[in-house]
Structure 1
Amino acid sequence: MSSLKKLSPLLLAILSFQPQAVEVTDELDIGGAVRVNYGWKDYDNNAKLEFELFRADVNYNSDDGLFASAQYRWYQNMDVIHHAYMGYQFNEAQSLQVGVTQVPFGLLPYAAHSFWFGATYYIGFEDDYDAGVHYQYQRDNLRADLAYFANDEYGKGSRFDRYSFDVATTEQSPYQESGQLNARVEYEISQNSFGQKIGSSIQYGQLDYVASVNGGEGIDGNTPNTDDISTFAGAVHWQVDWQTWQLQLQYLHYNYDVKYGNRIALSAFSYPFQIAAQADVVTANLSKSIDVDWGPISNINCYNDYSTVLASGSGLADSVQNVTGCAISAGKFYSYLDWIAGKNMYFVGGDGVGIDNGDTSWHSRLNINVGFYF
């Protein structure tokens, strides 16, 4: 390894999300981000520093209650929509969004603190964006969300280039998302420097069978069910904020009602993969924010994000992901330094989530991401 490669993780670590969009008018802001990434894995010899993302953001808010927001992303191998919606703020408490908007489910905005997110992201229950209508009520300490999504953000399960993890249409798993109802409620309790958020979420949906891609055997050797499939997910969450500490806890259960077999296909970032069709998911995260005065660096947020997917059945195995790291704020730079350890986990040496394809051992990777937000 050259001296430059040896120094690159250190150089990235001392560089450092404070998105500050440019105000075009009093109602319109335009911004974006550029990010680079260094990754080292203990399961291959492909460590490298590379361009990771360029993104463009547009946000609009008018005095008469109209608003809109959109973000588009360009990665090395694909370009995708992140979100794109318009809406109306009826009053201080009620608003309505229409378009590709975040699915209200579980801990929001994220069930993690790291660049790598938690296991819930990779099974489609964290930072997920679909196409539909989203009503939100928020007054005093109560927030309630009700949303209906007609389909995923593209309305096409066979498109694997996407940011959100959605059901994928493959020959072995010929289904796509078609109608989903979400309800979420959260209550906040605050006293001095101690705050709590307690909430629950429900998701019910349907997957359509896509006959044109049926290749015979299903994803686990069984014949695919040719009927439409119902899906269900429920979660309870608790977030505690005390001074500079934050604790996040969540329990989630999901079930894709596959009649023959126990796997379903998802896709994102250009590739389809498999997950257990039914599992319980536990999340436990702890973080501490530290204000510093180290030259341009103003804050360091250190964390440990743990999540596990508990699946049981033939050809299934539990998946675990633990991310230990820090996020570094320095002006318009925001950086992540993460150590990711995973067992039977997609993107950490595993073939999927909650499945057993032979290698269910622990793997690790170092990830350093530096972003300039403007």
Structure 2
Amino acid sequence: MKKITQLTFFLLVALLLSCGGESYPAASNEGGISGTGNGGSKSSLSGSAYKGPFIQDGEVNVISIEGDNGSVIANSQIRDNLGDFILEVEPGLLSVSATGRFYDETEATYSEESVTLKALVNKDPEQQATILVNALTLLSHDLAVELIIQGNSYEQATADAQSRVKTVLAAVTGDIPTSQPFINMNIINSPGTTPEDNAYSLYISSLFTEAVNERSIEEPYTMTTLLNTLRADVINNDPIDDATLLSLQEANGRLNAASIQQNLEAVFIGETIAPIGDVIETVSPGLVPPSNLTTSVNTTGDAQQFCFDMTVECSNPEHKAEIITAVGYAYDLQIDDNADFSSPIVNLTGWQRNFFDTEHASLGSGTRYFRVRKSYDDGQLSLWAQTDFVVP
């Protein structure tokens, strides 16, 4: 396979990001990326786009990725308010892009915002293919393209990219097992899909929508902003930033499985909605912050002590009988002289006990802020528990 520079990769990604109604040269059926289809006649590519379901007249474009080149080879429109589309395309490595407004399954309204979602598929010659374009396929798209350009097969690249997406999202969800590629995950239990995978996909869709709806009340914030933020985290292998993480964690607590199911049943008449409640019940307990956070001064040691996940306060000498060694999780601890924790004086990860103390000499004097959260072995992070105290 021809090697290309990092600059060339970003030029290709720029084309994928800007996919719209522009005219590009027709793609060649010759050559192709190693491990992908090449040559042959056109065949059907059908599917659905959802973040809830896209509504009628949204735009669908297909880019054929050939080596370090890309070109739009087909375009169509969403045919109905279920996000369905169908095109005739040449075989090979294809980037499918859907742009349009969508049904908000959390509020039973249509979005004012138009978003673009993408999916990567390796289309076999002369075989019909069905794919689902969704938020998860978008988050994995750019990394999968980069890995293929670096020489990985389509199968390996997409598997690695999907694993990275799930690792990033695990800060909220923990490690939820899935068995199918993202392009096979629906929000209804359609034939050939797996209910557990569909439930994960619907959960992510609803979680993102709920987070955006709430955050946009306080500041200009859109679905595109959230998706682009998470795409950058995936491609750069970065953790979710604190503000986005908090939005998603708090959104989980507002999700109503029964309401979401009812809203979607009104659109998908006669279909079985993915069991999103199962995922909410799995995720929620781990997001609960450490309980009963208290703090007191240890006058003998001239230190500040903190207790959490105990039934007694630090001022009670018996608290030491409740000190535990955490199993399956650890604690993250921070102390700062700023309430936003922008410059921690103490910043510990992997703390195994539900008791912590620190000498006052290291903290200066005045009001200080302490917070603690659980960090689970599967990647999930709880909400923070927080208190303040005065250093004498």
Query: Which has the larger share of strand?
Result: 1
TM-score above 0.5: no
TM-score (norm 2): 0.24
Query: Which has the larger share of helix?
Result: 2
Structure showing greater Rg? 2
